Amino acid sequence: MSRIDSLQTFVAVVRSRNFTNAADALGVTPSAVSKQISGLEERLGVRLLNRTTRSVSPTEAGQLFYQHCENILESITEAEKLVTDFDVTPRGKLRITAMSNFGRRELARIFGDFSERYPDISFELHISDRPVDIVKEGYDFALRIGSLEDSRLIAKPVAEQKIAVCASPAYLEQWGKPASLEDLQQHRILVVANAEYARINWLRQFEKDHGFSLSTIERKLTVNDIDLVYEACLAGMGITALPTYIAEQHLQNGELVELFGEVDIPVRTIKVVFPQNRYLANKSRAFLDFITAYFDDQHGQ
C-alpha cells in the first residue's frame, strides 16, 4: 500500500478506536489493518497506538500524527475536488446566515438576480442577529457587520453601510428640528439594542468631537429589533440612526428627514464571511464573485 493508504488506515483506526470497525469502514480485513499500522509504526520508529483487547487509542505522538494526517487527507480531497469541479456548472445548495434587516431587505433581490444566472443553485437562508458559529453549524457563508474575532474565518469586504440620522416630519413639527448636536439633549432617541450601527454609540463620536454629554438624552425606545425602531421613527416617536438602505426611499419621498447630513458618521463594512480552510466549490465561488460584483455595480451607480 502507498503512504496515503497508510495514513487513511491510521485515521480510520483512531476515529473508530477499533481495528475491526476501521476494517469494515475501509472494506478490508482486521488483520490487514493491524499489519498496515504495525508497518507504519516500524517505518516511523514510534508507537502510535495504545492497544487493549477491546479498543485502541492514540499515544501522545499518535495524536499529533493524527492531526497532521487529517489535514493532509483533507488537502488531498480538496485538491481532487478542485480539479474535478473545475469545468462543472455551479449547482447545489448554499447555506447562508445573515443579519435580520439586511437579509430581509437586500438578499431577496440578490438571490433573485443570482438565480437567473445560476438556476441550479438553491439557498437555505438563516436570518438572525445572534452570533452564529458558521464552522460548527455548517454554513457556507455569513453576511456580517463589525469586527471579526474568529481566526478560523476569512472576511471579504463587499460594501459599506452608510448611516443617516433621521426623524419624521411629524416629530420635527412637534418637537422642533435640532439645530446643533447639543440640541439632541432635548430630544427623544430611539435605540436598537443589538445592532452596532444603531445603538446609542452612533452619538459617541459626536459627544467626543463636540464635547456635550449624552447623559440627559431621553432614550424613548430601546428595543432589539431594527424594524420596530424604523417603524417608530416613521410614526414620529423620535430620532434614530438608520442604514441608508432602509432610510433612502423614505428620505427621497419626504416621509423622513435627514439630520446632521454635514456630520461625518463613520461607515461600517459589510463582509461576506466563510471558513478559512474550507474548499470553495463552484457554487460558493460563483456566489462570492456575484455578491462582490453586485455591490461594486451599486457603488458605481
DSSP-assigned beta bridge partners for residue 155: 273
One domain for residues 74 and 96: no
Q: Are residues 57 and 106 in the same domain?
A: no
Identify whether residues 12 and 78 lie together within a single domain: yes
DSSP 153-194: EEEEEEEEE-EEEEE-HHHHHHH---SSGGGGGGSEEEEETT
The Cα–Cα gap between 116 and 220 comes to 44
Specify the CATH number for the domain of residue 10: 1.10.10.10
Record the cell numbers describing residue 158, joined without a space: 463587499
pLDDT at site 152 = 80
100 and 221 together in one domain: no
Q: Which pLDDT score, from 0 to 100, does residue 301 have?
A: 47
Q: Of 84, 105, 127, which residue sits at a domain end?
A: 84
Q: Are 58 and 67 in contact (CB under 8 A)?
A: no
The pLDDT of residue 194: 61
Determine contact, residues 149/155, Cβ cutoff 8 Å: no
User: Do both 209 and 242 map to the same domain?
Assistant: yes
**For the stretch 26-47, what's the b/e string if a residue is b when 16 or more beta carbons lie within 10 angstroms of its beta carbon?**
bebeeeebbebbeebbeeeeee
Please list the residues that pair with 57 across neighbouring strands: 50
Same domain for 216 and 284:
no
Specify the pLDDT at position 254: 94
Task: Tell whether 253 and 207 lie within a shared domain.
Answer: yes
Cβ atoms < 10 Å from Cβ of 16? 18
Helices (H), the chain: 3-16, 19-26, 30-44, 60-84, 100-102, 108-117, 169-175, 204-210, 226-234, 244-253, 282-300
Q: What is the CATH number of the domain that holds 294?
A: 3.40.190.10
154 and 274 assigned to the same domain: yes
Same domain? For 205 and 220 the reply is: yes
Question: How many domains are contained in the chain?
Answer: 3
Same-domain check for residues 61 and 29: yes
Question: What angle in degrees, to the nearest 10, is found between the helix axes of 3-16 and 19-26?
Answer: 130
**Residue 63, CA atoms < 13 Å, CB-side half-sphere:** 5
At 216 the pLDDT is 58
Residues comprising the chain, all counted: 301
Give the DSSP H/E element, type plus range, for residue 130: none
Domain boundary among 35, 51, 84: 84
1: number of CA atoms within 13 Å, CB side? 17
10-residue block means of pLDDT along the chain (301 residues)?
A: 85 91 90 91 92 86 91 80 68 87 75 91 85 84 78 83 89 91 82 59 60 62 80 92 85 93 76 80 89 75 47
20 with 136, same domain?
Answer: no
pLDDT value of position 219? 72
Phi and psi at 92, nearest 5°, equal 115, -165
The domain of 295 spans: 92-161+268-300
Q: Is 166 in contact with 232 (CB distance < 8 Å)?
A: no
